[in-house]
Amino acid sequence: MASNILEKLTMLDYLIVVLYVLVLVFIGFKSALTAKKNREETLFLANKSLTWPSIGFNMWGTNVGPSMLLAFASIGYTTGIVAVNFDWYAFVFLFLLAVVFAPKYLAAKVSTLPEFMGKRYGDSTQNILAWYSLIKMLISWLSLGLFAGGFLVRQILGIPMWQSVIVLVTLAGFFTFAGGLKAIAKVNVFQMILLIAVSFLLMILGLNKVGGITKLYESVPANYWNLIQPADNPDYPWYAILLGYPVAAIAFFCTDQAMVQSVLGAKNLEQGQLGVNFIGWLKILSLPLFILTGVICYVLFPGLKDPNEAYMTMVTNLFPAGLNGLVIVVLIAVLVGTIGSSLNSLSTVFTMDLYVKRINPNASTQKIIQVGRYTVVAGAAFAVLVALAIDSIKGLNLFDVFQSVLGFIAPSLSVVFLLSVFWKRTTRLAVNLILSAGSIFSLGVGICYLWVFPSKEYPGLWPHYLLLSFLIFAFLIIVAIVVSLLDRNPVSYQMTAEEKSHTEPTSNKVKIAWGALWIVMIGLYLYFS
């Protein structure tokens, strides 16, 4: 087996990479030069001009990071298609975003989700959530995303980590700095189409080498094709996914600034709802494009020492000379999509929720844009430093550790947003308590789970981590309800007449699109169970 692509690159590969970078730069410059009106909104919310294809591709581009390529292929290699639950089950919570949260977000006319909560519960809530969001984006989206991308590029190309992360974050940061959300959205449309094409080609090459889909089906254990695993499955029991995944999914798809920002930049509610519907359809592709790659690798290259190398093994051994440049292009594409969207969200939250709200309320539009761009540069530099720091610590799988710890942050976000939308009696005291003390409690449980009494050493002490996340969520939601009911000076939210007037009804086109997706997804679950 080939160890890396670098030794196989031809002049055609280099030309493909150079051409790709030039196209990206052209799109970025064009977006920046055409954004002449409402420059502040263009930088942060694309001047409220995004249509459903841009929204869907941009959300998918934010979601599909290099860690997904590694993780999905790895899980496909070791357990089969069960991992597709983490993309297919998401349609339920995307539906929740489209029909419940998005109408309220757009009616409130906000730029950020901390601003949305601030309108409901006051400045203290907005401030807590703003800092919460900044830390979360800096660690999970930027630093870990960049580390995963640099790790993958280093494995495939054999170049130092510092070179990988600096070049990639510079490219991603360029679009955010120059054209903001509009430039990122346009770039992501191009890049996600490219990702689909290259991933489909890799799957076809793999299937051809295996001998076809029937041969593949017969060459792996029967349980590889089951979406729903039995309750005694140690990795993905059905009840853990059913109960635990929604906690993370609500926090990720409905309350995360990086994911929701494209919807906030929608031309209108209908385009936002159709864009969220579109990413639901795109997520169906995760099975053939990403997970099946790992299953194919299991047949072609059995006995890998590290299943995380499944994706790398496929791309370094199946692509013929002259096409390896496409693999490099896809790696750049997924990283630019994730990091670019994250930098834009980081810039938006810091500028609008902290700088304008608390530091300089009278700032001019030019100054706001300037601060937003400075934030992009600072965020990119921070991400590079943390990614290199993670890489310098030997002997710890910090990527998996940090991802697990961050998973314990989700319960508090899910609780406060769900209650604020579905229960009018929710008070500011309860929201602030859950966001602060609730997050500390949740993270403390996560630290115990991972380090103090690690689950691998104390298997009888802990439930499955997804079930543990659900139990934390259930505990926090009970605490929030009790605190709200006992609050002697309750400050709760009442929808204003202005927000009611700005709330748009759901169109028939949206109802049809979501009805079709529900039917297809139920059919897929029935077929693969």
Is residue 121 over pLDDT 90?
yes
If one compares 198 and 40, the residue with the highest pLDDT of the two is: 198
Is residue 31 over pLDDT 80?
no
Taking only the tens place, the pLDDT of each residue in 209-235 is: 999 999 999 999 989 999 999 998 888
DSSP per-residue string spanning 188-251: HHHHHHHHHHHHHHHHHHHHHHHT-HHHHHHHS-GGGG-SSB-TT-SS-BHHHHHHHHHHHHII
Distances in whole angstroms, Cα of residue 34 to Cα of each of 38, 39, 265, 379: 11, 10, 17, 25
What the block records as the tokens of 337 is 């999509």
Which one-letter amino acid corresponds to residue 50? L
Is residue 119 over pLDDT 50?
yes
If one compares 185 and 379, the residue with the highest pLDDT of the two is: 379
Helices and strands counted in the chain (H then E): 27, 0
Region 337-347: what's the mean pLDDT? 80
pLDDT score for 41: 46
Ramachandran angles phi, psi of 425, nearest 5°: -80, -10
Neighbours of 519 (CB within 10 A): 10
d(CA 11, CA 151): 25
In which band, very low, low, confident or very high, does the pLDDT at 34 lie, cut at 50, 70 and 90? Answer: low
Is residue 401 over pLDDT 80?
no
d(CA 430, CA 435): 9
Taking only the tens place, the pLDDT of each residue in 259-314 is: 898 899 899 999 999 999 999 999 999 999 999 999 999 999 998 888 878 887 88
pLDDT score for 434: 97
Is residue 341 over pLDDT 80?
no
Helix axes 398-407, 365-392, angle to 10 degrees: 130
Neighbours of 59 (CB within 10 A): 31
Is residue 40 over pLDDT 70?
no
Helix axes 310-318, 161-210, angle to 10 degrees: 70
Query: DSSP label at 89?
Result: T
| Least confident stretch, 316-325, 477-486, 507-516 | 316-325
What the block records as the tokens of 386 is 């943390």
Is residue 128 over pLDDT 60?
yes
Taking only the tens place, the pLDDT of each residue in 63-75 is: 887 667 778 888 8
Average per-residue pLDDT for the chain: 84
Alpha helices, DSSP H, located in 393-464: 398-407, 410-422, 428-433, 439-447
d(CA 248, CA 237): 17
- Answer yes or no: are the C-beta atoms of 80 and 226 closer than 8 Å: yes
Is residue 402 over pLDDT 60?
no
Is residue 399 over pLDDT 90?
no
d(CA 505, CA 118): 24
b/e string for 236-269 if b means 16 or more Cβ within 10 A?
Answer: bbbebbebbbbbbbbbbbbbbbbbbbbbbbbbeb
pLDDT score for 5: 66
pTM comes to 0.87
d(CA 474, CA 36): 48
Question: By three-state DSSP, how is residue 106 classified?
Answer: helix
pLDDT score for 33: 63
In the chain, what are the domains?
Answer: 5-29+50-392+404-528 (1.20.1730.10)
pLDDT score for 217: 93
Taking only the tens place, the pLDDT of each residue in 132-171 is: 888 888 877 777 778 877 777 776 667 788 887 887 787 7
d(CA 255, CA 114): 9
In which band, very low, low, confident or very high, does the pLDDT at 406 lie, cut at 50, 70 and 90? Answer: low
In which band, very low, low, confident or very high, does the pLDDT at 58 lie, cut at 50, 70 and 90? Answer: confident
pLDDT score for 492: 76
If one compares 517 and 313, the residue with the highest pLDDT of the two is: 517
Region 330-344: what's the mean pLDDT? 75
Question: By three-state DSSP, how is residue 492 classified?
Answer: strand
Taking only the tens place, the pLDDT of each residue in 455-473 is: 788 888 899 888 999 999 9
